[in-house]
Amino acid sequence: MNQDLRREREAASFNPELLTHVLDGSPENTRRRREIENLILNDPDFQHEDLNFLSRSQRYEVAVKKSASMVKKMREFGIADPEEIVWFKKIHLVNFVEPVSLNYSMFIPTLLNQGTTAQQEKWLLSCKGLEIIGTYAQTEMGHGTHLRGLETTATYDPETQEFILNSPTVTSIKWWPGGLGKTSNHAIVLAQLITKGKCYGLHAFIVPIREIGTHKPLPGITVGDIGPKFGYDEMDNGYLKMDNYRIPRENMLMKYAQVKPDGTYVKPVSNKLTYGTMVFVRSFLVGEAARSLSKACTIAIRYSAVRHQSELKPGEPEPQILDFQTQQYKLFPLLATAYAFQFVGAYMKETYHRINEDIGQGDLSELPELHALAAGMKAFTSWTTNAAIEACRMACGGHGYSHCSGLPNIYVNFTPTCTFEGENTVMMLQTARFLMKSYDQVHSGKLMCGMVSYLNDLPSQRIQPQQVAVWPTVVDIDSPDSLTEAYKLRAARLVEIAAKNLQNEVIHRESKEVAWNLTSIDLVRASEAHCHYVVVKLFSEKLLKIQDKSIHTVLKNLCLLYCLYGVSQKAGDFLQGGIMTESQITQVNQRIKELLTVIRPDAVALVDAFDFQDVTLGSVLGRYDGNVYENLFEWAKKSPLNKAEVHESYHKYLKPLQSKL
């Protein structure tokens, strides 16, 4: 093991294994996760190709190979539990993506959620056996988050009892679905259903796109890859154009809405139920944000412990860069954020499952809040994580820019999260809609429960939002609970400002929609403050459940750092509301510096506790052992440009120029 890392680990104030159990949920979960990961790590078939050295076409090929081996191995090992599949895939792929994944993550679940029993019987086995390789085609070139704008049509023909699918415009071409370009032979296509001359909105259809056996595109289908992207090199995100393409009536997923053989449309009982998948995916993405950020922190903090640079004291050896206050200030608030998001991710998962059970029993009452929370938290955590991964990368200096660090891949594969599954600003506005509705309900005398219960205490009947020193609280900057109160007051104030500005615009504008648009900056700000409060609250509450004293102490320090860093960054909000005084803000800045010093000896152990075995594989800078520079040199030698001593382009282009002289 690297000497610096050994020293860091020996100096830690706590046992990281215990913290790993907290993160996994239980010691048993940790044990099982490692067991699954080791199936791969100890498997002689498992090879870790470094995709960084390959062209896109080669990367795609390796990814298909990995997809295939993964399917085989999961069959072999009998891994079927969704959580275990995630563990298995993560360690198998090491920061990369795989083209068959949508068959399992989207095609099969949609079939299960929206297909009739007969449809499931007909299709499911073929999907599981990969005779059908499915994907999910929703987004079009012209429309993403705004689903109602989708243009693809499915027109029912009662003569033949078929749907005729069409992509009537360039903008209606399906665009982006993963695995659509080359890999899949079927897609669940979202299209505007037209029957008996009337459009009934979006419905899902199972569409064969390639011939089973030859894998050739079927007549009427134009399908291909949408071209190179920032990341997701291994994924054949695809396009799909359909020209009078006919599918049998039975290919419409008919668990809820139906089209009878004669073309009669039968509408579903509730529209809310189709929310489910969306809410699930967004909740899941919060955990993914936590994971990506934790990985980036692992690499940056380990590297900062190993990298020696510059002078702190003249004549002494070069210090670890982790000893520079500015480096700590870059990384430790992000580490605290990673922990915060880990706990939020776990909460979202639990809450989703709890509410999903309620829904199963017909109780939809908590769905609106969950929907609003999932939207906002997806946006809040992904924006923060997005910037934070880049901050981690740049904290590694030049070496962070090299693919040797693994950080560019983490970034480019994470960053789509800000724009997919609901663009973040749109998500924040969805949360704002819930907040405004709740605000109105409070004002019409209803008591709110859940995360927005603070709106019940709004002093808005009594005072102007801009007025100072009206809050009853004196904030104790060493208490997570007290800081949670401060965040709550900030959220309450910003929700109130947005609501009042919205009311004001409604009076002066031609329509509610125009007023909404002209308040949307305030609305987004209110949602962000609400989400920030939720994160702080969940982190503080998590502390109460930690038994081990040493773990409690380090987590409390991280929680305080998370809270205080946010106060410092958004000092204006806390000052403006009179929530905190100017001298308190000065104290906050001082306290942050102290916390950096307190956390410093535990920094490496805190990232060890994330227990990412794949970081070791995917990042030269994040490895556990050996000399980082020797590893780096060995890695670089494998660069494709190093294959020949002299690159042929020299003889072709440069030598002729030289000989001219």
User: Has 83 been annotated as catalytic?
Assistant: no
Q: How far apart are the C-alpha atoms of 244 and 221, rounded to whole Å? A: 9
The Cβ-side half-sphere exposure at 614, using a 13 Å CA radius, reads 27
Residue 377 Cβ, how far from a second copy at the closest point, in Å? 18
- Alpha carbon distance 52, 324 (integer Å): 32
Instruction: Tell me how crowded residue 624 is: count the other CB atoms within 10 A of its CB.
Output: 12
Q: Closest separation between CB of residue 606 and a second copy, Å?
A: 20
Instruction: Pick the catalytic residue from 37, 151, 421, 496.
Output: 421
Report the 10 Å Cβ neighbour count for 169: 12
β-strand 238-242 against 221-225: which pairing, if any? Answer: antiparallel
Of 392, 302, 337, 340, residue with least CA distance to 603: 302
Q: Distance between CA atoms of 604 and 593, rounded to whole angstroms?
A: 18
How far, CA to CA in Å, does 105 sit from each of 109, 220, 284, 290?
Answer: 6, 27, 12, 20
**Residues whose CB is less than 8 angstroms from the CB of residue 393 and which lie 6 or more positions away in sequence, other chains included:** 296, 300, 400, 401, 405, 407, 408, 411
Q: Which is nearer to a second copy, 202 or 448 (CB)?
A: 202
Is the Cβ–Cβ distance between 538 and 344 less than 8 Å? yes
Q: What are the distances in angstroms from CA 499 to CA 355, 468, 633?
A: 28, 19, 58
Alpha carbons within 13 angstroms on the beta-carbon side of residue 262 total 2
CA distances (Å), 396 to each of 51, 130, 391, 407, in order?
A: 21, 42, 9, 9
Q: How many CB atoms lie within 10 A of CB 338?
A: 28
Q: How far is residue 406's CA from residue 299's CA, in Å, rounded to a whole number?
A: 8
**178 marked as binding residue:** yes
Under DSSP, the state recorded for 460 is G
Question: Annotated active-site positions, please?
Answer: 421
Please give the annotated binding residues, written as ranges: 139, 178
